[in-house]
Amino acid sequence: MHKLIAALAALCWTQAVDARAMLLKADAYLDVQSGELIKPAEILVENGLIAAINRDSWPDEVEIVALPGKTLLPGLMDMHVHLDLDFEQADFGVVVTESGSEAALRGAKNAERTLLAGFTTVRNVGQVHPTLELIDVALAGASERGWVRAPRIIAAGHMISILGGHGDLAMAEGLAEGVLELGPEYGVVSGVDEAIKATRFQIKHGAKVIKIHATAGVMSLEESVGAQQLNDQEMAAVVAEAERHNIPVAAHGHGTEGIKAAIRAGVSSIEHGSMLDDEAIELLIDRGVFLVPTNGLMDLINLDLLPAQKRAKAEFVSPRMNQSLTAAIKAGVKVALGTDAPLIPHGQNAFEIVKMTERGMSPLQAIQSATTVAAELLRIDNLGQIKSGWHADIIAVDGNPLDDIASLQAVSFVMKAGRIYKGAP
């Protein structure tokens, strides 16, 4: 598997595309930048790109893809998933009972579910299996080559956490000391030098984003859900190292002070952002840092299945997450959609979009969080809108999603890079 990882890590953005010229004909398409519903929708797709829109005439030999009654949108994006994990089991035991190969196959299954739900790009912010092979990098490469039916995957490799912290998998499973002692290659660090080594290891093996744990979390064994974990110097060192390679850093953050420390360290996004105060919101805006709130999952978690300590922390965090997100939306923070799938099950990612509207977003803002805002966070040009010359990532739903945001939970057509994965006539 090491040779496979090395080969896949060397891949550039060479998405497998369908070279056929296809003309999509639907009732309308949504301009997600302006919110205008444009009728009709006649979109020519060639070589994985949108070649033209609503021209007066089309080539005779073009293949027609008729989508009557449908509205087209750009493919959706989820900025916070963990493809190598799902909760068919009730706990995290799978991370120490599954091999890396099994986890990769599990990830491929979950990636297909996600793609068929209309999410054509995801950011996999940290694998959870303790193997040196970067599973999400392998999945990203397989997706790019067309080996698996999967979204475009931006991979983080191992999450970077303090020894004994939220990302130390020995702590997550409560294993006895010495059973699973992990080091910087696995993202578990103590001190600046190890933080830099961990960052370099992930980048060396193909990571396109770095994920750090600025604070503890609900699943941590630590008493406080919000305590800062990586210190200021460690976070600054990771950001400096990653940015030298033009790679952004995402910071898991629940507690207020740890969130602010991560923002000051220069991260590109705060994941969760459960306890934001006015200063934290002001910092997010002033520094242009994105919030990826993963908020909807709190409406799905069965707290009764959690151990008492974790249940108490979840009950403490939940209302604060809602309040923080609503305040951030009102203040104008750049909010990008993230689900923390599988906490929202893979394939049900659009549930988060619906919940965004319940926390204060308009339907258009919620759609933008999964399209234009997500593309800006990813630093990927020509993605997230239906425009000539842009990537042909296109989905279809019934009716107008601005009138019925829940329609995004029933996507009937999926195209990624000009290739149809769902809903072909």
- With bands split at pLDDT 50, 70 and 90, how would you rate the model's confidence at 7? very low
Give yes or no for residue 12 having a pLDDT over 60: no
CA-to-CA separations, 57 to 11, 50, 69, 289, in angstroms, rounded: 38, 16, 22, 44
**Is 97 within the bounds of a domain?**
yes
pLDDT for the residue numbered 173: 62
Helix (H) or strand (E) holding 239: helix 232-244
Domain with 134, as residue range(s), is 76-378
Give yes or no for residue 1 having a pLDDT over 90: no
**To the nearest whole percent, how much of the chain has pLDDT over 90?**
76
Spatial distance between the Cα atoms of 255 and 263, rounded to a whole number of angstroms: 12
State the CB neighbour count (10 A cutoff) for residue 113: 21
What are the residue ranges of helices labelled H in 185-255?
192-204, 232-244
Give yes or no for residue 13 having a pLDDT over 50: no
342 and 255 share one domain: yes
**To the nearest whole percent, how much of the chain has pLDDT over 70?**
87
pLDDT for the residue numbered 356: 97
CB-based contact 356:43 (threshold 8 Å): no
CB contact set of 389 (below 8 Å; sequence gap of 6+): 49, 50, 51, 382
For the ranges 22-26, 182-186, 376-380, which has the lowest average pLDDT? Answer: 182-186
Give yes or no for residue 219 having a pLDDT over 60: no
Total domain count, the chain: 2
User: Which is more confident, 337 or 301?
Assistant: 337
- With bands split at pLDDT 50, 70 and 90, how would you rate the model's confidence at 214? very high
41 and 92 share one domain: no
- With bands split at pLDDT 50, 70 and 90, how would you rate the model's confidence at 424? confident
352-390: pLDDT as tens digits: 999 999 999 999 999 999 999 999 999 999 999 999 999
Tell me the two tokens of residue 274: 């459960």
CB-based contact 196:168 (threshold 8 Å): no
Spatial distance between the Cα atoms of 90 and 92, rounded to a whole number of angstroms: 7
Spatial distance between the Cα atoms of 388 and 374, rounded to a whole number of angstroms: 19
- With bands split at pLDDT 50, 70 and 90, how would you rate the model's confidence at 88? low
Residue type, 301: I
Give yes or no for residue 26 having a pLDDT over 90: yes
107-153: pLDDT as tens digits: 999 999 999 999 999 999 999 888 999 999 999 999 999 999 999 99
**Is 366 within the bounds of a domain?**
yes
Give yes or no for residue 14 having a pLDDT over 90: no
The CA angle 239-344-132, to the nearest 5 degrees, is 45
Q: Can you name the residues that pair with 122 across neighbouring β-strands?
A: 78, 153
**Is 13 within the bounds of a domain?**
yes
25 and 100 share one domain: no
283-334: pLDDT as tens digits: 999 999 999 999 998 888 765 556 565 666 666 667 788 999 999 999 999 9
For the ranges 8-12, 159-163, 195-199, which has the lowest average pLDDT? Answer: 8-12
Tell me the two tokens of residue 94: 């799978």
**Is 2 within the bounds of a domain?**
no
pLDDT for the residue numbered 298: 81
- With bands split at pLDDT 50, 70 and 90, how would you rate the model's confidence at 220? low
CB-based contact 215:253 (threshold 8 Å): yes
For the ranges 7-16, 114-123, 203-212, 360-369, which has the lowest average pLDDT? Answer: 7-16
pLDDT for the residue numbered 8: 40
272 and 128 share one domain: yes
pLDDT for the residue numbered 170: 73
pLDDT for the residue numbered 304: 57
Write the CATH number for 31: 2.30.40.10
**Which contacts (CB < 8 Å, 24+ apart) does range 180-185 have?**
180/96, 180/130, 182/130, 185/132, 185/158
CB-based contact 127:103 (threshold 8 Å): yes
69 and 141 share one domain: no
237 and 340 share one domain: yes
Averaged confidence pLDDT in the chain: 90
pLDDT for the residue numbered 146: 95
**Is 323 within the bounds of a domain?**
yes
**Is 207 within the bounds of a domain?**
yes
Cβ burial, residue 101 (10 Å; 0-12/13-18/19+): middle
30 and 138 share one domain: no
DSSP state of 184: G
User: Which is more confident, 225 or 76?
Assistant: 76
| 83-108 mean pLDDT | 82
CA-to-CA separations, 374 to 181, 212, 213, 303, in angstroms, rounded: 35, 19, 21, 30
Residue whose token pair is 């475009």? 152
Give yes or no for residue 401 having a pLDDT over 90: yes
pLDDT for the residue numbered 316: 63
70 and 157 share one domain: no
152 and 25 share one domain: no
- Strand pairing of 413-416 and 394-398? antiparallel
DSSP secondary structure letters along 266-290: T-SEEEE--S--HHHHHHHHHHT-E
CB-based contact 382:391 (threshold 8 Å): yes
User: Which is more confident, 174 or 10?
Assistant: 174
pLDDT for the residue numbered 56: 92
**Is 162 within the bounds of a domain?**
yes
**Is 4 within the bounds of a domain?**
no
- The helix/strand count (H/E) of the chain reads as 13, 17
242-292: pLDDT as tens digits: 999 999 999 999 999 999 999 999 999 999 999 999 999 999 999 999 999
Phi, psi of 193 (to 5 degrees): -60, -45
263 and 141 share one domain: yes
Spatial distance between the Cα atoms of 324 and 328, rounded to a whole number of angstroms: 6
CA dihedral sign, ordered 414, 415, 420, 425: positive
Q: Can you name the residues that pair with 264 across neighbouring β-strands?
A: none
256 and 278 share one domain: yes
Write the CATH number for 268: 3.20.20.140
92 and 240 share one domain: yes
Q: Is the peptide bond before 59 cis (omega within 30 degrees of 0)?
A: no
- Strand pairing of 188-189 and 161-162? parallel
